[in-house]
Amino acid sequence: MGTDGKNVNYNGQVHTCINGGYQQEYSLEILKEAITKYPLDGIFFNMIGYTTSDYSGIYHGICQCENCKRRFHDSTGFRLPVESDMSDPVFRAYREFQNITTEELFNKIRGFVKSLNPEIIINTYTDAGVDFITTESGSSLRDGYEWNYFATSNLKPTLGSYRDRIPCNLLMYFQAIGYRHIGTSPNIARIWLLENMLHGAPVTFVVIGTLNSYEDRIFLPVMNELFGFHKKMKSFSRMFSLSVI
């Protein structure tokens, strides 16, 4: 929900709130169905936490749903703020509330997933409740991120920091949000995947849809070579299928 009190409906995809029933309860039902019906190796969660902007970058503000109002008031005694202002002690309390509730949800989801199948890898952009801590390396015609050490700089902050969590840097094959069917240059993508291997992270490859239907296929021979090399070296040869929720 936006600060204006209306649901955020992005072309039919409605934003759900971390404190609402969909994420707190129904997501577990979806996960249970997926885990019990399909042989998943891992589960990835995208666009996690308190989302205040949509995929077009439109800012919708602090969620003002009844669940957020109630939980924030119950845990802090304050009224939910409507503006992001770090000079406001109530907003700082809200940031702390965000951290606590986000970690709580991810730990709850982890416990649920592992109770159904302890072998399933959980993978997202936080360090709470995960096995892989995720980052992304991808090209963008707009943002100019194509630099050689993009994967290394993503992996280093996590590398060696945890006994039970490893870095996972995703190769986003498409050119950011605006160009989802155009692939990254094989030359830079090769460098990023090799950096993943160098730092003990899995080799990864993210596309929209399935590989069979993907039109820009210029990187596929390189991917075959690199995934084959990785498997042959047996450093960390587990390829994993991802379910996005």
Choice between 65 and 194, CB closer to Zn ion:
65
Q: Is 197 an interacting residue with respect to Zn ion (CB under 5 A)?
A: no
What gap in Å lies between CA 151 and CA 199, rounded to an integer? 9
What gap in Å lies between CA 199 and CA 167, rounded to an integer? 9
Task: Collect all residues with Cβ–Cβ distance below 8 Å to 182 and sequence separation of at least 6.
Answer: 174, 175, 216
Q: Closest separation between CB of residue 111 and Zn ion, Å?
A: 23
Choice between 22 and 145, CB closer to Zn ion:
22
Q: Closest separation between CB of residue 3 and Zn ion, Å?
A: 11
Task: Give the angle 74-80-83 at the CA atoms, nearest 5°.
Answer: 160
What gap in Å lies between CA 30 and CA 77, rounded to an integer? 34
Indicate the DSSP class of residue 170: E
In one letter, which amino acid is 176? A
What gap in Å lies between CA 69 and CA 71, rounded to an integer? 6
Q: Closest separation between CB of residue 17 and Zn ion, Å?
A: 3
Q: Is 220 an interacting residue with respect to Zn ion (CB under 5 A)?
A: no
Q: Is 17 an interacting residue with respect to Zn ion (CB under 5 A)?
A: yes
Binding residues among 19-78 for Zn ion as defined by CB under 5 A: 19, 63, 65, 68
Q: Closest separation between CB of residue 103 and Zn ion, Å?
A: 17
Choice between 21 and 221, CB closer to Zn ion:
21
Q: Which two tokens stand for residue 22?
A: 């969909």
Residues that bind Zn ion (CB under 5 A): 17, 19, 63, 65, 68
